[in-house]
Amino acid sequence: MKTYSLKIDPLTNEEYFEVCVKGQQLLNDPSLNKGSAFTEDERISLGLAGLLRPRLSDIETQRERNYEMYERKHDDIEKYIYLQSLLNRNETLFYSVLCANLTQMLPIVYTPTVGKACLMLSHITRDFRGIYISPENIGSIDKIFQEVSLPEVSLIVVTDGERILGLGDLGSDGMGIPVGKINLYVAAGGLHPACCLPVCLDVGTNNERLINDPLYLGHCGKRLEGKEYDEFIERFVLGVKRNFPHALLQWEDFAKHKAFKLLERYRDRILSFNDDIQGTGSVSLAALISAMKIKKQRFNDQRFVVVGMGQAGTGIASNIRRMLIEEGASEEEAQSKLFAFDVPGLLVDDTPGLTEPQKLYVQKRSNLATWKLESPGTITLMDVVRNAKPTVLIGVTATNGLFNAEVLGQMAKNDERPIIFALSNPTSKSECTAEEVAIATKGKGLVATGSPFTPFMYEGKEFVTSQCNNMFIFPGVGLGALVSKASKITTKMFLQASKALSEFVTDEQRAKNMLLPDLTNIRKVSAHVAKAVAIEARESGLGRILSDEELARVIEKAQWEPHYYPYKPKEGG
């Protein structure tokens, strides 16, 4: 049941909410609750008289009060719980607090703290948010979606919880990820929270810890697989198409073998993308473009090693390959410059068990005949770094310390200004730290990480680490696709998003070896990325025919700032 709708007064042109609920029910609705900010007229007309203390507070005063309480929490999980409780009490105020303190609170509402929260979500859950679809209720999916109280759903972030960050199968405790991603869509991209729906496909878990935990709140059966799983996903997607035909669907934290299949199966059937594959690949490409500007070199001047060929690694490798070819390399030349490393070691043409996406990045065994190996028959990461002499090393392995002093030292020998991306998160899973790169390369390495690292001093100079945060890309891509009314999201849209993001890095920032812009400008970055995506949608015949200036105006108007609308009761309600 829809609890409110946005209206415009025909006389005054004032925007207001026409509200269908009153009294305590209104206070219990986080999308409508204004707490002490309800006006005297609203308190009388909406049945709130006597339910609130008499003094009125504006949103700035409320924000100050809640930040004071936030600061009293000295543990990151307690801060996470507090902010989620605020979100489930008063959405507008939550986003006002978050936007005003985004740099400080980002590591709390998302990585790394959200990973810790997901590990114990059944134990710390106070309220339920979003929609849980399970084998027991999939048959009622239309009724479930029709009961969503949001006035219009434009964005759905969905996970099945099988590969949460670098933490593995967390079942429905993985719901913290869609909720967190929507927090970022609103704070960074400016989407209105009233159009964003987090969804967990609770298809079971194979995690024995959760199955044996009496406090676990999810479906305790083994995970659906094979045909049953495929049919479940199909029923979910068809339900989305029937009930939210214009919504963008973002696939989030699915297992590798399922993520690629789902992306390919549905990318042309529904407006959708996979942030782990395409978002990570896009933000990494933007950082690499910035690094090339600093080095005053081209992609074809480099040799690349990507370690960890799952969703993120494959997405990154795909973008590197695309840039090499765009610069004029042939398919074979591009393949020769890109070395892919995974659990079996270096991927070569006779490596067994390769996925279809991985097969694009194999090296020919015959080309490695002259390599000197530490142990014949096995090609280690150190073998690759020594023999291929890469100038770029990228890790997405969730293996802490994989890029040790020996590996980093060899990278420093390979190139005067090596590029090192340690992209795994949370922080405890990072392949190395930015400080370790600085020590190994005498401060000349160009670094990006997946998790936030605090600035550090090396030889009297402060180093600021660029975080390859997907937040630089996915909110802008989503916003651009929605405002342009794109029918699908293409690879070229992500390529244009990468270029637009790199354009936002200033000369002054590049002089400090920053590869990505400052997060304090994230709203402007998202708008710039959204415009690039919308222009590409238009040029490819997939989006609205608006001029660049018109698209910029539409995007600016679409970016919501947290504030309270006036309320009026629904006539006859």
Active-site annotation, residues: 110, 181
CA–CA separation, 452 and 437 (whole Å): 15
Contact present, 29 and 149 (Cβ < 8 Å): yes
Convert 168-184 to b/e letters by CB count within 10 Å (16 or more is b): bbbbbbbbbbbbbbbbb
Which residue type, as a one-letter code, is found at position 109?
V
Radius of gyration of the chain (CA): 24
Contact 416, 302 (CB under 8 A): no
For 202, the token pair is 């609770």
Please tell me whether residue 196 adopts helix, strand or coil conformation: strand
Is residue 236 within 8 A of residue 138, CB to CB? The reply is yes
Distance CA 406, CA 380 (A): 13
The count of other CB atoms within 10 Å of the CB of residue 63 is 20
Beta strands in 366-514 (DSSP E): 392-395, 419-422, 446-449, 456-458, 461-463, 466-467
Reference 254, options 375, 169, 134; nearest CA is: 169
Return the H-helix or E-strand segment holding 273. strand 272-274
Contact 67, 101 (CB under 8 A): yes
For residue 396, the 8-state DSSP code is -
Peptide bond preceding 569 in cis form (omega within 30 of 0): no
Phi then psi dihedrals of residue 501, to 5 deg: -65, -45
Where do the DSSP E strands lie in 190-268? 196-201, 248-251
User: Which of 375, 396, 399, 439 lies closest to 304, judged by CA?
Assistant: 396
Angle of the 59-71 helix axis to the 91-100 helix axis, nearest 10 = 70
Contacts 24+ apart (CB under 8 A), 5-11: 5/151, 6/151, 6/565, 7/568
Taking the C-alpha atoms of residue 396 and residue 383, their distance in angstroms, rounded to an integer, is 18
The 3-state secondary structure of 295-307, one letter per residue: HCCCHHHCCEEEE
Contacts for 342-347 with beta carbons within 8 Å, 24 or more apart?
342/307, 342/308, 342/309, 342/310, 342/313, 345/378, 345/379, 345/380, 346/379, 346/383, 346/384, 347/309
Output the six-digit token pair for 122.
């059944």
**Which residue type sits at 452?**
P
Round to the nearest angstrom and report the end-to-end CA distance of the chain.
13
373 closest CA partner among 411, 352, 346: 346
Question: Cα 189 to the chain's mean position, in Å?
Answer: 11
- Going by their DSSP bridges, the two strands 155-159 and 4-8 should be labelled as unpaired
Distances (CA, A) of 462 to 66, 138, 295, 435, 513: 33, 54, 20, 11, 11
